[in-house]
Amino acid sequence: MDISSRARSIPPSLVFELDARVGELRRAGEDVVSLGAGQPDFPGPEEAVRAAQRSVEGGNVGYTPASGIPDLRAAAAEHVGRVSGLSYEAKQLVVTSGAKEALALALAVACDPGDEVILPSPGWLSYGPMCQAVDAVPVPVPGDPDRGFRWDPAALDAAVTSRTRAVIVNSPSNPTGLVYSRDELAAIARVCADRDLLLVSDEIYWPFVFDGAFVSPASLPGMAERTIVVNGLSKSHSMTGWRIGFLAATPAIAKAAGSLKSHLSSNAATPSQHAALAALRAGDAHAEMMKDAFERRRGLALAAVAEMPDVVLEPPAGAFYVFPRVDAYYGGDITGSVALCASLLEHERLAVVPGAAFGEDRCIRLSIAAADEVLAEGLARMARHLAALREGVAGRTA
Ligand SMILES: Cc1ncc(COP(=O)(O)O)c(C=O)c1O
């Protein structure tokens, strides 16, 4: 039987594919350094583990309301409100299976088939496929490479058509580390208000800002009504596999997202919800500890990359990636970022993600959410491989 054209048009997530390949190589006994997946190397908060244990051992594992257990919705409302500088009620929150589900629900609620959604480019690789999954049309709008890939508000405005329904903003950004200032967000918000668009604000990296300050576009005058905030615990609390995210929006949007979720996936996993509640109650100390580590590792990465000839890297202001420009090394077999990453894995057993996956083929993405010694080893392998390419050795044998 044929699968739908929609499903045919959506490739698997390259990051998950890369992770699977790393797993295969490791099972075959290879010494692979992975700076691929965006996963903090720290364990999650102990409070979360204990709460999940209590939930499982106490048999507290049945269905919950689809939008989440009331205490968690209330705690998430308080948390998201504090982060975004607004005040949310529990009924404005939906607890989801990771931020991914929150984004998918936001798009499903916002878009009719054929509606257009403006995406950052370079930008996170799942936004486009998520739009396609709800029959919306992704419209990547390139940021200015000379200004840290910031959007020029005029270019943003020029991309709006009569079918545009929403704009996705991701600050701090995966993969670039771009953090928009309040004034820059105000200019983006003005386009949304003038053209009557929803703004979907993916705030999953909010605690990890090294330069400047985190600002949620929802907190700008008049924007609370037209912003769907997406957040979660995967990055901020190092709880990736627990799959807890949040969507915060007007009561009407939250209600619609909750109804959809009640059909699609019911509640987020019950033990994970109890873990999330405990993690939120434990406060921000865990995130602050990770932020300090990521900032230190950003320094390690910048220093190492500075020694690599013709690699260009602006310090990322936030998140936990570096996105160096490496196209000086393209040529011969190295036809672009995909080939370079394949070559790094082949020759140096270093896993990093091609910039092409994010819409910028001149760059590659390295996660700095890896232990210092893993990061140092990964950077050393990258330097060695680039040196070999310069000498024309590895490219010929790849
Ligand atoms: C920008 C961005 N948004 C959302 C997500 C998804 O988060 P979650 O694992 O909570 O679904 C990621 C994960 O890599 C991400 O980088």
Q: Where are the domains of the chain?
A: 5-43+286-390, 46-282
pLDDT value at position 363?
A: 98
Categorize the per-residue pLDDT at 394 as very low, low, confident or very high, splitting at 50, 70 and 90: low
Residue 190: other Cβ atoms inside 10 A = 16
* 305 Cβ contact partners less than 8 Å away, ≥ 6 residues apart: 311, 313, 322, 324, 379
Pocket test for ligand 1, best of 39, 125, 234 (most atoms within 8 A of CB): 234
Phi-psi region of 198 (alpha: psi -120 to 50; beta: other; left: phi over 0): beta
Task: Please determine, for residue 46, whether its predicted confidence score (pLDDT) is greater than 80.
Answer: yes
pLDDT value at position 84?
A: 85
Cβ(170) to ligand 1 under 6 A?
yes
Cβ(174) to ligand 1 under 6 A?
yes
Please give the average per-residue pLDDT across 233-251, as a whole number. 97
* 352 Cβ contact partners less than 8 Å away, ≥ 6 residues apart: 35, 36, 341, 344, 364, 365, 366, 378, 382
Pocket test for ligand 1, best of 101, 204, 243 (most atoms within 8 A of CB): 204
Q: Which atom of ligand 1 lies at the shortest distance from residue 38's CA?
A: 14
Asked if the domains 5-43+286-390 and 46-282 are classified in one and the same CATH topology, the answer is no
- Strands 227-232 and 350-351, by their bridges, are unpaired
pTM attached to this predicted model = 0.96
Q: Are 125 and 15 in contact (CB under 8 A)?
A: yes
Cβ(202) to ligand 1 under 6 A?
yes
Categorize the per-residue pLDDT at 395 as very low, low, confident or very high, splitting at 50, 70 and 90: low
Structure tokens at 108: 């499903």
CATH of region 46-282, choose from 3.40.640.10, 1.10.357.10, 3.30.70.3450, 2.40.240.10: 3.40.640.10
Instruction: State the DSSP code for 295.
Output: H
Q: Give the Å distances, CA to CA, from 360 to 140, 195, 357.
A: 11, 28, 7
pLDDT value at position 240?
A: 96
Task: Please determine, for residue 341, whether its predicted confidence score (pLDDT) is greater than 60.
Answer: yes
Categorize the per-residue pLDDT at 398 as very low, low, confident or very high, splitting at 50, 70 and 90: very low
Q: Which atom of ligand 1 lies at the shortest distance from residue 173's CA?
A: 1
Å from CA of 99 to ligand 1 middle = 6
Please give the average per-residue pLDDT across 353-362, as a whole number. 96
Q: Are 173 and 209 in contact (CB under 8 A)?
A: no
Q: Are 220 and 185 in contact (CB under 8 A)?
A: yes
Which class is 5-43+286-390 in CATH? alpha beta
Q: Are 365 and 355 in contact (CB under 8 A)?
A: yes
* 97 Cβ contact partners less than 8 Å away, ≥ 6 residues apart: 243, 244, 245, 265, 268, 269
Rounded Cα distance, 252 and 265, in Å: 20
